[in-house]
Chain A
Amino acid sequence: MTERKHRNRTGHGHAVAFSISYQRDDLLARGLGIEHLRELLVRLARPVVRAGAGIAYDGAWRDEPGNFTFVLLQLINAEREDNVTGGPDTGLQIGGLVNHLAWPNYLEVTPAIEARWIHCCRIVRVTQEDAGLTDLVADDQAKSGSDPALWNAAVTLSAMRRLSPHSRSISIPDAASERIVGPRARIVLGGKLAGYRGFLPGVLEEVLVALEAQIPLYVLGGFGGVAEAVAQAFRDRTVTPPLTMAWNDQQAPELKRLRESGFNLPPSGLVRAADTMLAELRRRATEDRPLAEKFATGLDEHDTAELMSTSDPDRAVQLVRRGLERTLGIRAG
């Protein structure tokens, strides 16, 4: 047999993060359904996985239509199975999934679920202590709907979004610690405009963290959701509603009430106030710099702007792949 590698390993040692969520009405108004989002995610993730890079996606594990965790797990599983047949690529690394989960969401993941996907996925649990909280809520009170439970869940979620982009070591009792590689780029599409958990929509916070970390950021604005609002704000250098505190207070009135009734963020500074984050986003959106530079896409200005507005899945895939090749050297194929 010719000893020829079919898959390149240009992504080895890297991880690429995905921010994606589904909102039916918003997507349908753009002529698309969940099928489009699911397929787009697979088309974007597959070359990354095949090239040996990891995927970072902090989705929940509920088996429901808008959940993409299982889509990614099935993709990784299929690629790994395809890599054990004794051919020249056997034994080479296929990217896996790193899934950060904030309290109390990780309580839903049973050992049986985790064991089933352990060959494809590493779950990193972010606890209330990790978030710097001291007034802890017991696990069995997590779903009580009490004010402390609501507040601590929002704080821990925000902490997770601040922690997950960074490489770090995880301590394991009586075993060597494990190093989790932080993502070197982030791809953003969709994003909930209503019914999200936390102080801000996840996509907004993840966009801000990526901008601050100065990693390549690919915002696919043509597929609706918060990603579209972000794309529009940066493209037009304007303030779109999701970038305002008034809009977010309207979406999450319970958290507004708690904030006003004296609930405070932990003093560690890990979690920042929503209005501070929004102000920073607005500043970055309206500052006078080219988009390609702000987002470090590796694309030229025209292509970056097109990526942020196109609703053509082929074109979006093409541009993200081109950007990842230029910035991280990850090649498809």
Chain B
Amino acid sequence: MEPARARRCQARDNVARVATVTHQVPEIFVLWHPACELGETLASKIYAWLRPENGLGPQVFYRSAPAPEAPPRGLPPPLPGEQRAGRVTTPQRRGENLQILIVLADAHLVADPTWRAWLRQLAVDGASSVRRVFIPVALDGTAFNVPPPLGERNFLRPTGANEPDRAERERLVTRSLLKQLTEVLCRLLLRDGASDPEDDSGPKIKVFLSHAKVDGTSPAKSIRDHIYSQTQIAAFYDENDIPFGQAFARVIDQAVSTDTAALIAVQSAVYHRRPWCRFELSRFRRPIADAALPQHWRLPPVLVVDAIAGGESSRGIPELGNAPIVRWKEDAGTAAEQAEEIVTTVLREAVLAAFHHAAGRALHPRPGPGEVVTNWLPDPVTLLPIVAKHGEKLVVHYPGRGLSGLELDILFELFPAISFRSFEESLP
């Protein structure tokens, strides 16, 4: 094998290894005390954020009001697999799940002996058949007094809780919470084996920023600055991230392939003409087969930032396929806010991609001959490598509730021998 190809194959192997994100299907439970003022609103926002487009994401359940059978001021319904009153409840969903408990902690929760006892019990519930991870959220200064071991964790600390106007307070806290939560979930689901969101022993989650330097660097720089000043992730930005003496192609190939959660492509008028930009993009838009289950394919998410200035024209880039696009507004006053939205959105896409990968494995643990499973909505460009490997007569299982008729028309025209089945349609 020629060296360049061998390097690419090696990079692919690495991807398969690093990208073997959690295989447990994550389920999210939002816990808040019934008297918590913002609890229900925040839970609803978390639901909408993690299940966009009518449920394209992990299940999100609530635990707040006392269960129907509970006494007044009693506990909410037990979690699947929870041991309560000497009885283990049956796991709700089939397969191996990862329970993620988002605890919205405030004075009401901290002061309530019933809730304190419950949280303590959940944290040490060794009989549980499910893996359980806590993400505590401090909604006020007393939150850190939740019982150990939960109280010993590093809390998410959304800002804006002291804003006097209720609507504005909700908006600020929601925005800050979703930003921090998305980052934690990304770290949890993408880092192989990381069972503890505080476990920072592995490499940082990295976002690749693909941009044409000839444009000037305004949007890309704003995004990079946000990543380094406001998050706990890393960015691959430009040649400064390449060690002296190493070849651009190899380092970019390695960075794109092995330790990067997602790519943000800042698309200017000249982006399509820059060879390195196209190289980066094409590497990222090439699906990767799972090392252990080669019929399972995954594609790291790409988010396109449309930074084409008013009046300028450009050409489309076929590699982009159906990647989502956000518009960059040339307004210096909103650059930081835009950068935050873009980074949070691309990380959310990475979380959803990890979820779909796990869900696909749970739904189709042993695909039959001629079947493949993807963790993205297929488009012509991203299907080509799969067809090249498996041939044209295929059944493609993809996430969600089903492609639109228009998308199916296009896919059938180009791939008449492929049948497309959504995960929803594949429910046995």
Contacts and interface: CB of A to CB of B under 8 A. Distances in A.
B93 A312 contact: yes
Nearest to A222: B92
B43 A31 contact: no
A87 B405 contact: yes
Given A2-B412, A82-B404, A318-B427, A313 B59 contact: yes
Contacts of A321: 427
B394 to A, nearest CB: 15
Contact of B405 (A25, A29, A42, A89): A89
A29 B76 contact: yes
Nearest to A87: B409
Contacts of B405: 6-7, 82-83, 85, 87, 89
B361 to A, nearest CB: 16
Contacts of A36: 61
B320 to A, nearest CB: 21
Instruction: Give the size category of B's interface with A.
Output: 35 or more
Contact of A30 (B47, B67, B408): B67
Contacts of A312: 92-93
A265 interface: no
Contacts of B66: 29
Given A30-B67, A33-B47, A333 B77 contact: no
Contacts of A85: 405-406, 409
Interface string A37-76: 0010011001000100000000000000000000000000
Contact of B409 (A6, A26, A32, A224): A6
B275 interface: no
Contacts of B92: 311-312
Interface residues of A, number: 38
A138 interface: no
Contact of A31 (B77, B93, B401): B77
Given A30-B67, A32-B61, A333-B425, A314 B93 contact: yes
B65 A25 contact: yes
B54 A28 contact: no
Interface string B31-63: 000000000100110011001001100010111
A332 interface: yes
Contacts of B63: 31
Nearest to A224: B68
A176 interface: no
Contacts of A31: 29, 61-63, 76-77
B412 A43 contact: no
B416 A2 contact: yes
Nearest to B68: A29
A314 B92 CA distance: 10
A32 B30 CA distance: 10
Contacts of B425: 332-333
B427 A317 contact: yes
A314 B97 CA distance: 14
A70 B390 CA distance: 44
16 contacts: A4-B412, A26-B68, A29-B66, A29-B67, A32-B61, A32-B62, A33-B62, A39-B51, A43-B424, A50-B402, A83-B405, A85-B405, A87-B406, A311-B92, A318-B428, A333-B422
Interface of A: 1-2, 4, 6-7, 25-26, 28-33, 35-36, 39, 42-43, 46, 50, 82-83, 85-89, 224, 311-315, 317-318, 321, 332-333
